[in-house]
Structure 1
Amino acid sequence: MKTLLQCDFDGTITQEDASFLILDVFGSKDWRQLFQEYVEGKISVGRFNMTAFARVKADEPTLIKLVQDRVKIRPGLHNLLACCDRLGFEFVIVSNGLDFYIQAILRDMGISGIKVFAARTRFGPDGIEARYLGPEGNIIEDGFKESHLRLFQSKGYRIIYIGNGVSDVSPARQAYGVFATGDLLACCSEMGINCMPFNDFNDIVKDLPSLLQVKNP
């Protein structure tokens, strides 16, 4: 069976959330209140990002410099990508983050050729326009990660999911196997979702054969 690793970005590939950093430095003072509404299920993640980033007036080069200077990368990503190449596995990034800084960080790491699905952004005088497009090209406000996971499954892939946050819980439930850290790990424990914990991507390289063996005794 074909295997695809679907990986989150903010807090998973990075050690902190780059979008939160941008909002802390350049967003409105009440953005965390807006985020709490998302956490409580009062608004969608798409609505949160569209509203919060519309209030960010800094230009793209300024924001890219900020994330380049401040965001740290979780160790081992190059090793995991090499492992996927050896095993013939696909690796894609599906993130609720913004495309411009994800691509900038990957370029800085010397990584190219990875498919990235994230919020599409456009900079303008009224702030940043952030939109999520589903697999069929339609604008969606919620279920972005899940919609792409289902698309990959429909193409015959078994999905190994890698994530760290609350927004990763729903796609993790639908995946063949899960590597979890942070809030996702805590949620998996509380909800009885089978997963393997990780601290960095070298852990995933080490434990990926075990996960597949457990699933295929």
Structure 2
Amino acid sequence: MVMNKILILCDFDGTTCSNDMGNTIMNRFAKGWQEIDRSYCANIIGSRLAYLQIQPLFHGTETEMVKYALEHEKLDPHFGSFYENCRDKGIDLKIVSDGLDFYISSILTKHGLQEIEFYANRIDFQDDATVSIEFPSPRNGCDLCGTCKSTILDSHRESYDTIIYVGDSYSDVCPSQKADLVFAKPILSEKCRKRGKACIDYENFRNVSEYLSKMLETGESRKR
């Protein structure tokens, strides 16, 4: 595969961050959210509606939630070096998340990765320790997801020769169908294969880095 300009789109919860920070935050600050999440996982409702139903369950200040997120985050230990390697090779990397912006921004900053562009749902903290959730990412007529990752992928298609997607779960299914190469953890891997979409299983970003290095070497040799 000959590659020129490459974009890597990475999911955040369960991917860039090894644990699901959205679930972690809601377990602590949105009592009763799990029943709504079961409807989402069963494909009865989309994440956008799920967030709107969970929104009134949230109770906590921005300071409390950021502190909790930073105490409980588990960034993939290989992600930082993976990003640096991509940057050195001229490969663009962006994060696309159906999670919430405040913990993504806080975690990236904690690890010195605040320069990475990311897309996510926006949370607005109110003075009475309630929140409102907004969905600023562009979408092409579909309101199922809070962040329409497929629309984001499509918006970059003309600027890149190859788009690689790295994900793990339900919100990654649609964009993975449009990517040129997909790295998938078990839930996404199963969904891809049921839809006839080839994917590469991985555990962490060291696996992704090793595969991409070999692939780029092959591409460079073919150019010669």
Normalising by structure 1, we get a TM-score of 0.89
Aligned to 1:112: 114
Q: Is the 8 A contact 1:3 1:89 kept in 2?
A: yes
Q: How does 1:9-88 map to 2 (within 5 A)?
A: 9-29=12-32, 31-88=33-90
Change (3 A) 1:126 1:109: closer
Alignment counterpart, residue 177 of structure 1, candidates 171, 174, 181: 181
Counterpart CA distance in 2 for 1:195 and 1:210 is 16
Counterpart code for 1:177: L
Report the secondary structure of 2:124's partner residue: strand
**Quick check: 2:61–2:129 contact (8 Å CA) kept in 1?**
no
**Structure 1 residues 169 and 39, CA, compared in 2 at 3 Å: closer, same or farther?**
same
User: Do 2:186 and 2:201's aligned partners in 1 also have CA atoms closer than 8 Å?
Assistant: no
Query: Relative to structure 1, is the Cα distance of residues 139 and 181 closer, same or farther in structure 2, using a 3 angstrom cutoff?
Result: closer
Q: d(CA) in 2 for partners of 1:157 and 1:112?
A: 26
Q: How many aligned positions are there?
A: 215
SS at structure 2 position matched to 1:117? strand
Q: Is the 8 A contact 2:121 2:137 kept in 1?
A: no
Q: Distance in 2 between matches of 1:127 and 1:25?
A: 14
TM-score by length of 2: 0.87
Once residues 64 and 211 of structure 1 are traced to their aligned partners in structure 2, the CA distance between those partners, rounded to angstroms, is 38
Other structure's SS at 2:31 match: coil
- Runs of 4+ with deviation above 4 angstroms: 138-141, 211-214
Counterparts of 1:181-196 in structure 2, within 5 Å, are 181-196=185-200
**8 Å contact from structure 2 (residues 120, 137) kept in 1:** no
- SS of 1:91's equivalent in the other structure is strand
Shift of 1:5: 0.3
Match of 2:170 among 166, 170, 173: 166
Structure 1 portions without partners, runs of 5+:
none
Give aligned-pair identity as a percent: 27
TM-aligned CA deviation for residue 165 of structure 1: 0.5
Q: Which amino acid aligns with 2:187?
A: D
- Work out whether residues 164 and 182 of structure 1, in 8 Å CA contact, stay in contact via their aligned partners in 2: yes
When the two chains are superposed, the root-mean-square deviation of aligned CA atoms in Å is 2.4
- Unpaired runs of 5+ in structure 2? none
CA displacement 1:135-172 (0-9 Å, x = unmatched): 37x99552611110110113335210000111111111
CA contact (8 A) 2:177 2:197 kept: yes
Take 1:141 and 1:147, find their aligned partners in 2: how far apart are those partners?
12
* SS of aligned partner of 2:74: coil
